[in-house]
Each structure stands twice: as structure tokens, then as C-alpha cells.
A and B are shown apart, each in its own frame.
Chain A
Amino acid sequence: MRFLHTADWQIGMRAAHVGAAGARVREERLAAAQRVVDVAHQHGAEFLLVAGDTFEDNAVDRVLVQKVADILAAFRGPVYLIAGNHDPLVPGSVWDHPAWKEHRNLYLAGDRERIGVPGGVLFASSLREKQSPTDPSAWIAAGDERTIAIGVAHGSIESVAGEFDYPIARDAAQRAGVDYLALGHWHSYAHFPDNAGVVRMAYSGTHETTKFGETDSGNVLLVEIAQRGAPPQITPIRTGGLVWQTIDREVRVLVDLEQLLEEIEGVAAPANTLVNVRLRGLLPTGAEQLLTRLEELTSARFCYGRFDASQLLPAPEDDRWIEELPPGVLREVAARLQSWSNPSCQEERPEGASPQVASRALLDLYRLMQEVDT
């Protein structure tokens, strides 16, 4: 038995955290779905198994439903799906769409079904609620099966008892007597060996990364099982198209920023990369132009760029430029702003003179000084 295990496509997902790049992120998820089918064809998968949360919500645009159905229908073998907690099988759900009936190779599991699949049997059950304390794999009893038995479930391994997040026991595969339990819900790839060290249950993770900080996502799993009882061969295959890169740096000297600039400029496919740059530490003297360049680069070059230098404070000990100011009004202004930019400043602050605002004002003053000098 050879099949492709995927889950959590979250089609139609909102991506508020990337603002205007949300549309691109959504488009890429559809493109990644197409890549999943391509991978299945490339690796000779006999069927596709989608372990829930195909859609982000049941109220997504029906055009997306049609598109997904069409993409899956393009697979030459059967496709077995279950409804997850994001798209539960309820009235008015995405599964009511006629597209699922149009294509004969698409099969959505109902309640607790034992389905004959190429090379064995599949135990599948769709979720009908968004939350539940019930183990969605607890009903599977494949111990007596003579052929390869696999299961599919959507829930959370080792979730806290009493939480309504479809908890799944860590030894669910063993208890259910299946050769492999395909899991969905987690967006990162994860596998769980049994007592004998054999991996019989795994999360494929989402086929396309959804946010910054999400590790081991953007894959599908090619699962191969030789015979009943044999250990499954699980191979992650990359399907994600976007790179979500978080650059969290502490800046101490000017060179740090110069290196960062080189790094950002060296990103291979900026159009497919989302960058989140967070800087903290001290602002070295003469770094303002470099900062401006970094901000411009981040915002303009990438599919999405977020540049946060708010935690970057002018170095308190590096106030030479202030000292170099001619004595008088400007030096007094700079001194006051520098004082207010310090969060521990005890002086009375004018209205709106938060440390962040004062820091920005100090930077502006510095920038203006530079411009006047030139």
C-alpha cells in the first residue's frame, strides 16, 4: 500500500498577520494543493488521504470549494477525506457543495466508516463539531482485520484532559490495531513511535506554512506499508511554496546591521519569501541610513516584509553627536529627547512623549542633522 497523507490545507485561511500579503498566501495554498497532487502522481501513490481541515472555515467562498475539488479530482486515484474541526460536517458546510458529488474519485467519510481502499481498509470518521472532548480515533477497532488497516483522525495528541480539542491518545494506533493512523490538526510534521519504536501514527502537517515560527510545515507524507503488521515507511516531501523567515537580531555594533543587510540582500527568492525582521539592542552611531535601507528593502523586495526597530534604542553612552551639537536650543532638545527615550526616566514627560516616541523623535533629529550637514 502506497498513499499520500496530507492535512490542514486551511484553504481560504485569513492571514491578518501579513496584512495585504494575505491574498498571496491564500493563493499559494491552492498552488500547494496542486503540488500535492503532482507529488502523488510522481511517487505513484495509490490514493490520497486528507486528514481534515481542508478548508479554514465552512463559510469560505464556494469558488474555493470548487477549485479544491477540481484539484483533487485531477488525481488519478481515489481521494479519501474527512471533515476536520475547521470544516466540520454540519448543515451548510463546504461538504454540501455539489462539486464533491461531481467527481467520482472523491470520497468524504461520514460517521465511523470502514472503507475498502487499494491494498487494505481505511477507518475514517468526519468531525461534526468544532470542539469535542471525544477521542476521534477511539472507535476504530481494526485488530481483527487481515489486510492492511489504516485509520485517519483529526485531533490533538496529548491534549489536556477535559479540553474540547478532540484529544487523541498517544498509543491510539496500537489500541486501534491499525498499521498506520494518519493524523491531522497540527500544522507541523510530527510522528509518534510505539513501544517497539515503530512509527504508526503521524501528523503530516500543513502542506503550506501558515505563519512565522511554524517549523517543519509545508510537507506531505508518502506512506508505504508492505503488509499487515509491517512498519510503515514514512517519507516527508516538500510541497510548500512560500518561505516564512523570521530574523530576530540583537544589534550591538554597526557591523551587525551591515551583515544583516547582506543577509537580506542575499535571500534567493524574495518574491516567495515573507520576512519578519525584529531588531533590538542599541542603535550605533551612523546607523540611521542603514536602518532606513533595511526597512526599505524589507518592505519592498519581499512578498511580505515586517521591519520592527522599535526596540532599538540610541546607545546612551554613544551621545557624541549630541555633544557635537552647537550649544543652545538644539543641544537642549536632543538632551531632553534622549532623556525621555529612556523608559526609566523619572523626569516629567510632556504629553505623548513615550520612550518609543521620544526615541523616534531623537532619530528624526539625528537624521535631520545629517541632512543639513550634507
Chain B
Amino acid sequence: MILRRIAVEGWQRFANRVELGPLGEGLNIVHGPNGTGKSTLFLALRRGLCDSHKTRGDAMKTLCTWGRELPPQVTIDFEHEGTEYRICKQFLQGARSELYRLEGGHFVRFQEGPAADDFARGLLKAQAPARGPSDGREHWGLAQMLWATQGDLALEKLAEPARVSLQESLGRQMTSHEALGLERRLADAYGRAFTAGGKLKTGKDGPRLRHDQQQLDEWMRRRDEYRQKLERYEHAAQRIQMLLAQSQQSATQLQEKQAALAETRQRADTYRAAVAARDQRRTEAEAAQARFHEITSRIERLQSARHEYDECQKQLEQLEQEIPSIRTQLEQLSAQHDEANRQAQQVRQGRGAVEIAEQRARLAMDFVHQQRTVDDLKSTLEQVHRLRDEVNRAREVRQNLIAPDAKELAALRTAHARLAQAKIRYEQSLVTLEIQTEAMVEVEVQDAEVATRRAALAGEKLTFRGSPEVIVRVPEIGVLRAYGPSDNVENLRRDASEAEADWQRLVERYPCRDLEALQELSTQAAELDRQIRDGLKLGSDLLRGRKLEKLEAEYVEATARIAEILQSEPAWQTEPPLPSQLQAEASRIKEQFVKAIDAAESEVQRRRDAEHVVKTRLLRHEERLTHLRDQARKAKQRMESASDGLSDAEREERRKRALLDCGLAEEKCREAEKQLAAFGKDPLPLVEQLERETRALQTAHDEASRDLHTLQGELKQILAEAPYSHLAEAEEQVARLEAAIEQEQLQLEATRLLYETLMQCKREVAESLAAPVKQRAQKTLERLTGGRFASIEISEHFGAAGVIPREQQGQSVALDQISGGEREQVHFAVRLALADFVFPSGRQLVVLDDVFTYTDSERFAVVLELLQEAASKFQVVVLTCHPERYRALTEAHFFDLKALVDCSYEAHARSA
């Protein structure tokens, strides 16, 4: 397809109609300054060919001329495979699409509306987006490799269907054209059953297999359901059969058991009658025995009561005679007892004297004890106070005595010895000049330790010391100079000074500087410390761990106690008591009292015992008397109750008769027992056992009948559903569906295998054919870059994926790592190669909108060459704001868009 002419109106900046064309079949350079509307024209071309006229939305509204309400319109004249077409589209308000074909020199409308849209898209194999305009390159169909928007030559991925078309184009070189029809049919067949991802379609558009599978699942479910029912039926029938057999058997057993029970019950009745007869005889015998015992007992009771009554009467008479004399004796003994008590009371009154004597003896002991305590404490306290005074005095002296201790004394001795040695060494190092004067002389010391003028009388000796020399001038005599070794006198002097300083530092706190005196002071201090320690220890020994204050308190307390005792016994002030003597007196008084009281109480006890004996005897007699009277009364009552109005003889006669009746009844009883023993074992337990067994059998029989009834009901219920018939139908349906599914699956698998094998073969062929594309693009790039790149990487989507620079030794470099200009050139080379293969014949429209913005002039010259070559196969439309760059293309048609627009405005103004 090539473009002849394009006209727009009401389209963004083109409010008035602007027409571009007629365009040449080769190179066309459309130029104009920025903002003239070059890209707008390109957009109008895309909208006109790829978009539905019904497309709406914000993106479409932006097509309207700014500030105007006119709907955007575009008219495109183009040629395709030798036929001239014109398509007119109006968007938004009054949207329309009309397609015309040139027939007999006139454009005749032959499509309109969506059909016109589809026709135009079909030429490009473009697919409209689901919604909105086709801005994405993937919606431009084959044109995606031919058209490049402003500054965007990149083509990383060739989208469907262009990629398919490319593969088809590549494949077409090795397959016949007719085969494409087969492929389409196969693709249709595959597409009816499978999704693009190769999965089986679902839903109403899916293959029949799905529906059959669902039906099969349902029928299999039913089949399983009826199989289970059939199994339940079989099970129930078997169980019923078993229960019927069991029921029959249990009925027979029940009959046998019931017969045995009836017979045993009859025997039991007979046995019970014999037992009743025996019991009757036994009762009669017992009654006879009872009567005999009753009369015998009555006789015995009468005789016993009568005898007892008589005995009671005799004893009563005897007791009534003895009781008065006993009472008299008791009165005498009571009087004697009272007298003994009175005398004992008198003796007890002597207890007070005993207590007084004992108390005085204890007081005397306490008095003596307190006196001793006071003496001891007084002595101890006096010693303690004396020791404390001595210690305090020693402490006081010790505090005032500043003396070195043993350690300090040792340090002093060391320092003193060091000082002495230092002085000696220093003295020894000095030069000594000694002058024995013979006349009075005055010596001027010029150099010595003591540099003063000295005078001496005759005969005196002047000594001068110094180091390293001693120089003195003796007037009129001369200067005397003595010298000696001068090695270390300064060091020795310093040592001596330091030793002296140390010594002074050590002794400065003591009252004296003399070592001997200090020794004496140290000895005195040690003696004082010993005295203090000894005093404290002695005091501690005297106190024996007690507090002094406590001892003093005890002393005060003991003194107070003595004073208290002396208040009650003032005589003891002068003559202290003898506790042992007082104790002995108290013991004697107490002994006398104890003897007297013992004798009195012994007498009282003896009298009391005698009285008690007689009193007890009297009480026993009186109790006995009461008891006998009561016993006699009861015996009399028994006689009265036992009396039956008969005489003893009559009673004896009756007893003999009862004895005879008893013997007779016992004989009858033995006879009945004998008859019962002859009958044998009691059949009643057997009856009970048989009854239990019968009941158990009956229960089992009833339960079996109940189960049977239930199962029969269940069986009827199952049979009412005719499970076998339904199962038969279900199995037939399952078999039918399985067979159908098997066939369908086979067909689907075959379709899939055929399709996928075809696709695989095509891919393999296409992949093998991608190499020529790569080679062709590489050649173009070599021309553009002067052989800088060894190879181009083509992706599986036929886009440029990278390049291999020659210096990289085979390592690929991503496109974003090379320069922008080279990137443009790589994409341009790939586009040209793809276009060559996709469109081996027939001119196609190439549109390049300001795409070589980064390419340098040297390489741009090659670009122009390539464009010129491409123009032999393609119609190339270049939109640019730099027309001068393309002036070398002598065969190109140049269109000044700005001039076209201006003309349009002028024409519009004229017409207005």
C-alpha cells in the first residue's frame, strides 16, 4: 500500500482543510518548523487507517481543533495492489467511515461504516484494540515495522500478527500458497476446541467433549448410586432369607419349650398340693404341741409363783424385826463422829504458828545472803573503780607523750645512721688547713666552707675546711692554699644535706632530736601502753562479763532489801540472826503440829467408818425389805394371772390329754413328709428356668420377626425404585458416552497433534529463516557504522536485542549501552531487513517521523544512501524539521508543510 494524498480538517491545529499530496512513489520529504503539524498528519494517517470511526474517549476528543467544535476529519487516498482507494473518516460528532474505489476515473463508494474500517485495517492486518484508539504499535498490523513515530525507531518486539505474518512470509518461501488455506482450516479446527494456551476450551464454546464428560460424570454417579442400591437389595434379600430360616428355627424351639413348660407346670401343681398337705399337718402338730406346752407352762408358773410368795413373806418378817436395833446403833455412832470432828478442828488451828516460824527462818536466810552479796559487790566495785582511775591516768600520760613506736624508731635509727655516714664522708672529702698561730693574726678567708674573716691570738689553732681547696690570706704573710682531691664533694654535700633533711623530717614531730632520748621516749610509751592493757584486762576479769552499771544496780537492790528486812526485824541490826537455828526451831514446831493433826484426823476417820458400816447395813435392809415386798406383790399377781379357775387336779388331767393329742398330730405330720419325699425334687425351679428360656426364645423370635418386617419394608422400598433397570440404563449411557468421549478425545488429540506439529515445523523453519534477516540487517549496519559491529542479536520476537562490537570478541552488548545515534542505526537496519523479507514485492508505505536526531552527518550520508535504495521498493515519507539534511536526495519530493498550511488559510480566508 502506498499513500497518494492525505487531507485533514478540524484536526487539532488544522482547523481548515489542509491537503498533502500527491506524494511520490519513492522518497517524500515533508518538512516544516516545529509545531507545523507533521506528527499530527502522521497521527491522522494512523487514525484514518487503523481506528474505528466510532472510537471515542478522551484521547479522541484531543483530536478536535483547539477551541473549535468541528469534528475531526481525515481523507486518505491510497493504492493497494493496483487499485486506488479513498477512505474518508469523521470521528466523534457525526462519526462516519466511507471507503471509495477508483472506477472509471471516479471514486465510487463501496464500503461504509464498520465494514470500511475493517477493510482498511485488513490491508494492514491490523487488529483494533478492545477499547479506545490504536495508539500502541501492536495495533498497526504490518505497519508496525514500517512506521516510526517521532524519534522512536526502536523495535524491540514484533507483535502479533506482524510476527505471524513475518513467519508466514518466511515460511511461504518454502511452502506452497495453497498450504496456507489448510493451515487456516486447521487453525480454525484447533481454535474451536483449544484456547490459545493449548488448553481445552470450556463453556458453551467448548468442544462437545466437555458436555459429554459432564454427562458421563452424572451417569456414572447414577450408576454408582444404583449399584449401591442393588448391593443393598442383595444384602437385604440374603438377610431376609437368613432371618426366615432363623425365625422358623426359633419357632420350632419355642414350641418345644412351651410343651416342656406345660408338663413341668402340671408336675409343679401336684407338688405344691403335697407341700400344702404337709404344711397343714405340720401346723396341726405344732398347734397340739403348743396346747400341751401352754398347760404345762401354766402349771409350772402357778407352782413357781406360789413358792416365791411364801419365801418372800418369811424374809419380810425377819427383816422387820432387825431394822429398829440397827437404827439405834447408827445414832450412837453419828454422835461419836461429830465429837471427833470437833477435836480435829481444834488441832488444825495450830497451823499458823508453824508458818510464822518457817517464814522467819527464810527471812533470816535471805538477810544473811543479801549481806554477803552487798559485801562482795562493794569489794568488786571498789577494785574496778580503782583500776579505771589508774588506766585513765596512764592514758592521759600516754596521750601527752609523743614518742616513736618500734617501727618509727627503726626508721629513725636508719635515717640517723645514714646522716652520720653522709657527714663523715663529706667531712673526709674536705681539704683541711690548720694554722697554728704564733702571734695574733687575722686571717682573711678567701675560699673555704666558712668564708669569714677570723682572728686568732697567738697559739691558737685556726682550722679551715673547704673543697677542692682552701685559700686564706694571712696579712703580711701571704696567701695559704691547701688543696686535695676534688672528686665528689658536691655529691657528698648533697647526700649529707638530703640525709639531714630526712632526719629533720622524721624527728620534727618529736620533742627532742636526740636518738637516745627518742629511744627513751619510745620505751616509756611502751610501758604506759602495757599498763593500760593490763588495767583493762584486770577490770574485765573482775567484772566477769558483767556490766558495771548492772553490778551497781545489784548492789543498790541488795542494800534496799537489807533495809526492808531490818524494818521487820530491827534486832537483826545489832545482832544478826542465825538462820540454821531459826530453821531448826521452825521444824520442831511443825513436827509437833503434824503429830497432833494426824492423831485427830485418824480418830475422825475411824468414827466415820464405823458410822458408814452401820448406815450401809441399814440401807441394805431397807432396800431388801422394799424388794421383797415388791417380789411378793408380783408373785401374787402371777398367781392370779396364771389361775384358770381350775383345780390342780383338773389342770393335771388336762395336761395329760394335751400330751396325747400332740403325739397323734406328729404322727400325721411324719406321714405327710414321707409322701412329699416320695414325690422327688421340687419342679418349680425347672418351671422358672423353662419360663425364662421360653421368654428369651419368644423375644428372639419377636426381634427376628421385627427385623424381618423392617428388611422386607426396606426391600420393597428398594425394589420400588427398580434399581436394576436404572442401573442398566445408566451403564448403557456410560458405555455410550465413554465410547463417544473416546472418539472425541481421539479426534481432539489428533487435531492438537496435527496443529502443534504444524506449528512446530513452522517455528523450526521460521527460526532457520531468521538468519537471513540477521545477515541483511548486519550488512546494512556495516555500511552505517563502518564495520564497528561484528553482529546484531535478533530476538525470538524479531526485534533487535543487542550488538556484538568487533573489539568485544563475541560478547554481546545491550542496546542501551551503545550511543543514541548507533541505537537509531541498529533499529533502522533491522526495520529495513524485516521490511525486505515481509514485503518481497509490492510497494509499501514507510513513514519516518524525525527519527535520525542523534545520527552524525557522516553516517547520515549513508542513511540517505539507504533511503534512496529503499525508495526503489518502498514509498518513503520522511517528516522532518531539517529539510537541508535531505537536500542531497535529488530524486525526493519535498513538501513544505508550513507553506501548505498558509495556503490553506489564505484559501479559506478568500472563500470566507
- Listed in ascending order, the chain A residues whose CB lies under 8 Å from chain B are 12-20, 22-23, 26, 56-64, 90-93, 128, 306, 310, 326-330, 332-333, 336-337, 340, 350, 352-354, 356-358, 360-361, 363-365, 368-369, 371-373
Contacts and interface: CB of A to CB of B under 8 A. Distances in A.
B171 interface: yes
Interface residues of B, number: 53
28 contacts: A12-B725, A12-B728, A14-B732, A20-B733, A59-B229, A59-B230, A59-B233, A59-B723, A60-B722, A62-B719, A90-B240, A90-B241, A92-B712, A92-B718, A92-B719, A326-B176, A330-B175, A336-B757, A336-B761, A337-B753, A350-B757, A353-B753, A357-B749, A358-B753, A360-B749, A361-B754, A368-B182, A372-B178
Contacts of B295: none
Given A19-B732, A328-B176, A337 B237 contact: no
Contacts of B176: 326, 328, 330
Contacts of B765: 328-329
B241 A91 contact: yes
Interface in B123-164: none
Interface centre among A14, A18, A340, A353 (most CB of B within 10 A): A14
Given A326-B175, A328-B175, A361-B754, A14 B761 contact: no
Nearest to A330: B179
A368 B724 contact: no
A91 B753 CA distance: 57
B244 to A, nearest CB: 7
Nearest to B722: A61
B691 interface: no
B80 interface: no
Given A12-B724, A59-B724, A60-B722, A360 B179 contact: no
Given A60-B725, A333-B758, A360 B736 contact: no
Given A327-B174, A333-B757, A91 B733 contact: no
Contacts of B747: 360, 364
A112 B241 CA distance: 19
Nearest to B765: A329
A103 to B, nearest CB: 20
Contacts of A356: 746
Contact of A92 (B186, B240, B732, B746): B240
B762 A329 contact: yes
Given A22-B729, A59-B230, A328-B765, A364 B757 contact: no
Contacts of B391: none
A372 B237 contact: no
Contacts of B734: 16
A372 B238 CA distance: 66
Given A337-B753, A357-B753, A361-B757, A64 B179 contact: no
B372 interface: no
B899 interface: no
A17 B625 CA distance: 129
A354 to B, nearest CB: 8
B735 A329 contact: no
Contacts of A20: 732-733, 736
A18 B718 contact: no
A350 B733 contact: no
Contacts of A56: 724, 728
B1 to A, nearest CB: 28
B792 to A, nearest CB: 27
A368 B186 contact: yes
Nearest to B731: A16
Nearest to A11: B725
A365 B728 CA distance: 40
A277 B728 CA distance: 24
Interface of B: 171, 174-176, 178-179, 181-182, 185-186, 229-230, 233, 236-238, 240-241, 244, 712, 715-716, 718-720, 722-725, 727-729, 731-736, 739, 746-747, 749-754, 756-758, 761-762, 765
Nearest to A360: B750
B164 to A, nearest CB: 14
Contacts of B175: 326, 328-330
Contacts of B240: 90-92
Interface centre among A306, A326, A332 (most CB of B within 10 A): A332
Given A16-B734, A26-B728, A62 B179 contact: no
A372 B732 contact: no
B727 A361 contact: no
A170 B369 CA distance: 148
Given A56-B724, A59-B718, A337-B757, A372 B181 contact: yes
A350 B753 contact: yes
B174 A329 contact: yes
A371 B735 contact: no
Interface centre among A59, A64, A327, A373 (most CB of B within 10 A): A59
A92 B181 contact: no
B735 to A, nearest CB: 4
Contact of A62 (B171, B229, B720, B754): B720
B753 A326 contact: no
A318 to B, nearest CB: 19
B750 A357 contact: yes
B754 A337 contact: yes
B634 to A, nearest CB: 91
B638 to A, nearest CB: 88
Nearest to B173: A328
A64 B185 CA distance: 52
Contacts of B754: 333, 337, 361, 364-365
